[in-house]
Structure 1
């Protein structure tokens, strides 16, 4: 398991019933542009991505029993490691995200975004990033094809057990002869570093979940991964063991989709 030099804030946002996917994505895209233009975001963020669903891999998701997503957008913001962030050295607290979340201009943007339900049905949290695979290509621009997996924790598993089981699935996949097809393969584990501040901002408490992100240089490489019989076997067996798509009646938080990534800030 690789350690990480960055931490991440994630917002998972579903479209309200009165908006189509296209309308919702346009509104979130405009919000992302406005956030990226804020001086506090330019100062404190290493990267800001908006991740939009596409349908390129739907057939392959269904073939291994993965549940497809309702209209969903993921916003991820990377910043320095938690240990490095301290607004007041004595308290060793999260400077960058604390400063971001307290910024009046950001707060106003989020209030305005309530017009299209940006916060009300969201789950948002800080996360630790565990990197399983990263290639030289992935260190540059975003890979052409991305898959986002949002897995809700089954009630019979603790947070630690859930993370261990998911890491086990990922390790089995990376041990197969498809690793050269992956540009990156990361696990985003929830932590409560900014939970208090998010709730003060009007976000609901986060759902108990984790996120896996896989990237490949192109669609053909990603399809090779999903069409590999041993990969399919690992996914089917592992996800049956987790039972994530049968133990929770809200499918928005257990879903998988291929995605387009729009990078709004990149300070790496």
Structure 2
């Protein structure tokens, strides 16, 4: 696994309330992303702001390795220079940002969310390749493991997968591990305390490339074994929660 990336990220994982359709929740989340991106504090301090939405392009392949079809999920991802820079700029204390998030309670954006700062470990990063297909996996920490042990096991699984002959099919492959650096600020903004989980993101240039990765015999075996060993397999007696899906990404801010 390569060294910790120079930039850290904020990630929010959001689920719609029962009284709102997935489509309406996504529409409102996208509008919220536009409003946040328009704030001077965001324009001046964020390097990237993405709103990530599910699509169904990889559903059959997710089922093929033992995962359930993901429940409706929207992900907000923000990249910035450093946590120190974020805190010096008082981004998470900005009154205009707080107002937008308070207003988002009208559609339950914060109520069922898990939000945190993340340390991002990259196994593959080829920024010169344009990503056309994205896969996001949100794994809750299995009850039998501590967060540190879970993170280490997922690192080992990623290293094993990245060592196979599929690296040239990927433009990005990373593991996002929670840290608690901004927890108190997020809770002051109205977010609940984050659940212990981690995120894996994989990008490829084409849909066919991602399908080839999942269909590669050794990668498929490693995924199936890992999903079963960690308790995420849909046929487990009490499967640990996982939300894995291919995704469309709406970029609201990009300084690259």
The structure 2 residue matched to 1:219, chosen from 204, 207, 215, is 207
Show CA shifts across 1:194-238 (max 9, x none).
101111111111010000000000101011001111111000111
Give ranges in structure 2 of 5+ residues lacking alignment.
Answer: none
Is the contact between residue 14 and residue 71 of structure 1 (CA under 8 Å) also seen in structure 2? yes
Q: What SS does the aligned partner of 1:193 have?
A: coil
* Partner Cα distance (1:135, 1:248) in 2: 38
**In the TM superposition, what is the alpha-carbon distance from 1:247 to its structure 2 partner?**
8.0
The structure 1 residue matched to 2:243, chosen from 237, 244, 255, is 255
Runs of 4+ in 1 over 3 A off after TM superposition: 244-251
Is the contact between residue 11 and residue 122 of structure 1 (CA under 8 Å) also seen in structure 2? yes
* Partner Cα distance (2:161, 2:239) in 1: 28
Q: What SS does the aligned partner of 2:8 have?
A: strand
* Partner Cα distance (1:129, 1:248) in 2: 29
TM-score by length of 2: 0.94
Give the corresponding residue for 1:236.
224
Show CA shifts across 1:166-196 (max 9, x none).
0111111111111100010011000001101
Confirm or deny that 1:179 pairs with 2:164.
no
Is the contact between residue 67 and residue 232 of structure 2 (CA under 8 Å) also seen in structure 1? no
Give the corresponding residue for 1:64.
65
Instruction: Within 5 Å, give how 1:67-216 maps onto structure 2.
Output: 67-82=68-83, 85=84, 94-96=87-89, 99-138=90-129, 143-216=131-204
**In the TM superposition, what is the alpha-carbon distance from 1:56 to its structure 2 partner?**
0.4
Give ranges in structure 1 of 5+ residues lacking alignment.
Answer: 88-93
Give the corresponding residue for 1:91.
none
Give the corresponding residue for 2:9.
8
Change (3 A) 1:248 1:194: farther
Equivalenced residues, count: 253
Change (3 A) 1:247 1:124: farther
Is the contact between residue 140 and residue 240 of structure 2 (CA under 8 Å) also seen in structure 1? no
**In the TM superposition, what is the alpha-carbon distance from 1:66 to its structure 2 partner?**
1.5
RMSD of equivalent CA atoms: 1.6
Is the contact between residue 148 and residue 259 of structure 1 (CA under 8 Å) also seen in structure 2? yes
**In the TM superposition, what is the alpha-carbon distance from 1:137 to its structure 2 partner?**
2.5
* Partner Cα distance (1:30, 1:79) in 2: 21
Show CA shifts across 1:12-59 (max 9, x none).
001111111111100000000000000000111111011100000000
